[in-house]
Structure 1
């Protein structure tokens, strides 16, 4: 067993013993709300993990089933009066069980896909072939359908400058990579963020060489691969850390939350020190705009917007409120969060392929909520949510436009008649390597 797994076991058991079984977590848990089963609640799973780690129960099929049905949304952590870090408990179960838990319910084509999704050429080929490929996981169908005309490879390795008539307010290092299906599918969101940030006076550095953040592997209990990816990313970031006022991730709560896991994965040397410093500069793009205001003319965008918050942006990064505040500054926009905006949509942890029936029950909690107000668009803050909802909502009869928060801001600047706003590539140059 690796030292990381041993530490996760120790931390998880400590957190499990902090639980006082009050039950405040139950109504925050999407799987409990969908099944009504105590064993599918955080409290129930804490009982299971504690018994498992202390020899009280064996890793039976029933135990594996209920542990695997955790979506790892971490909403329960925000409701816990004892401050139990539930994610550490579930990660301890993965550390203890090894491949047993992953092999229990991850279809073979999903497991194989995870082994390949860090290879840019394979990702590009898969997206190009699309649904012609056999056994495409349901959640990935949304990534395939959502791919725009912008290619992330064309954006990487460049420095983007504000217009000459604007003073530089700061330097942003942005995380994106061609070694991830997210950024290959949603490269247009990166371009929108670059346009918005440079128009607001920020110099944007978009280095090549970042890897997948590691979240998929973390959620499968493959802590060795997650740590390897974290090391590479921290090493690459360290080359630009001194230049950065902010390290920005664009509307991807899962990536942001995973970077915040790096102190658990990398502890030694200068990179371990950098992992601890991340929270001081690591922000979502909407946090930058919320802290420092919007510069330039925002045109009217007459839209009724509902918001489905990213679980990890809300529960881990605590960065969901800036999204609402910034969107509310756009003329003509009416913003209203879903009543169930704080409950997972069912996309997390490859749920649509692992537990499709529960995923659909969780989704149906949203359907009436969306249809009651009939928004012009549903704002989502995570590529996983975007991918899943773009595939799943039409299947249950819901027709609504899905958009990222930054896309609304980009739309407002376009509508504002800001000369030169679109021409961001003309203000860019090859990023010098450190």
Structure 2
């Protein structure tokens, strides 16, 4: 793609990087075949190629974003399926990041939009606040139909009927290895999942300890920054990321940083890019280099002996895992090694529609993607569904009667841990 940035513009490292990305695009359109929003809407401007044209024009002219550009940028899920498909290696992830930040800085959204985004940014990354918000939403849920805005109705619909008690395992502490210590690892405990599903972290800690890991929950560890980053709130995202980098470095020598929410994993692994050309670059790259998805780590170190579980599991590949981190086979191979029968849905490359806050800010598109994803999963006739991301679990679980669990819960169960509570009705 030909670009027309001025020399003065290219002196800005961010615009110079955007120029490199834009020039790598050859307009082939392969990305349209795997873009979920394009599949639903059929609008060229709701495909990666169309958004690239919008971003190019916006950044080259240096103009503020307008409502049309913001609308199409907002409709991008950030699933990164286009990057898996692209034959030219277009770094769409960092281009859409820059576009979102530009929109956030230069476009004044309608009042309700600003209020909803502010509410999400100030609650979801903070487990205590999020828990209170979910409790309030549950009380208001019976009145959801009275709300005229679909986004408000989606927020109320997200509230579960009950919330688990907070787990003491996510407080700063060190869990000793069971037996000889082989590794010393830190655990990124997530934000929303601390309120929505405490079983995930508990299962992860149990399994890691049986593998000879000393598990550290670092002091002052907080949100990785993914949620606000995807909304274009760059300063907040970098502030949260910097706090986490400091927390991990203060934890002492680590063999790995284990992440069991794949959306967080994609973000932490990108910390080096967050802080490129800044004094924090080296430390950020060090933390990013230690980050491992739980299944990535388990595939490397090996599972303990498993007791086979004769259950048919439909595996949903979270976009942040298969596209963002390029981890595709490890979760399935681990489940098979643990004795489960693993089946995959058709169109497994397509997003379920969760995508951070996307299901709350774009409920119509998200709802259609959920309907399609649930249909393909149920078509495999599974007894349960497994995935590696809390957002996907909540999204898919709201559309099916099948139990939906985290992959690590199944691996923990098969290797000596308790049966996941959601599976009590299964043999």
Name the counterpart of 2:324.
316
Q: Are 2:82 and 1:76 aligned?
A: yes
Q: How big is the alpha-carbon RMSD for the aligned residues of Structure 1 and Structure 2? A: 2.7
Alpha-carbon distance in 1 for matches of 2:108, 2:358: 13
| 1:389-421, Cα deviation, whole Å (9 max, x unpaired) | 222x1xxxx32110100010122134799xxxx
* Equivalent residue in structure 1 for 2:253, among 243, 251, 254: 243
* Equivalent residue in structure 1 for 2:384, among 350, 358, 377: 377
Q: Aligned pair in 2 of structure 1 residues 56, 235: CA closer, same or farther (>3 Å)? A: closer
Q: Are 2:189 and 1:199 aligned?
A: no
Q: Are 2:270 and 1:261 aligned?
A: yes
Q: Aligned pair in 2 of structure 1 residues 356, 227: CA closer, same or farther (>3 Å)? A: same
* Equivalent residue in structure 2 for 1:175, among 188, 210, 214: 188
Structure 1, unmatched stretches of 5+, are 1-5, 418-434
Counterparts in 2 of 1:22-421, with a 5 A limit? 22-55=28-61, 59-99=65-105, 103=109, 106=113, 108-133=115-140, 138=154, 141-142=157-158, 144-145=160-161, 147-149=163-165, 151-163=166-178, 166-176=179-189, 180-240=191-251, 242-250=252-260, 252-267=261-276, 271-296=280-305, 298-331=306-339, 333-391=340-398, 393=399, 398-414=400-416
Structure 2, unmatched stretches of 5+, are 1-11, 145-151, 420-427
Q: Aligned pair in 2 of structure 1 residues 220, 415: CA closer, same or farther (>3 Å)? A: closer
Moved more, 338-347 or 269-278: 269-278
Work out whether residues 185 and 214 of structure 2, in 8 Å CA contact, stay in contact via their aligned partners in 1: yes
- In the superposition, the TM-score normalised over structure 1's length comes to 0.84
Q: Aligned pair in 2 of structure 1 residues 67, 273: CA closer, same or farther (>3 Å)? A: same
Q: How many residues are aligned here?
A: 399
Q: Aligned pair in 2 of structure 1 residues 216, 281: CA closer, same or farther (>3 Å)? A: same
Moved more, 80-89 or 366-375: 366-375
Q: Aligned pair in 2 of structure 1 residues 349, 175: CA closer, same or farther (>3 Å)? A: closer
Work out whether residues 8 and 88 of structure 1, in 8 Å CA contact, stay in contact via their aligned partners in 2: no
Name the counterpart of 1:431.
none
- In the superposition, the TM-score normalised over structure 2's length comes to 0.85
Q: Aligned pair in 2 of structure 1 residues 102, 156: CA closer, same or farther (>3 Å)? A: farther
Alpha-carbon distance in 1 for matches of 2:62, 2:232: 22
Work out whether residues 139 and 388 of structure 1, in 8 Å CA contact, stay in contact via their aligned partners in 2: no
Name the counterpart of 1:423.
none
| 1:344-391, Cα deviation, whole Å (9 max, x unpaired) | 111114222222221122223323312322211111211111122222
Q: Aligned pair in 2 of structure 1 residues 121, 365: CA closer, same or farther (>3 Å)? A: closer
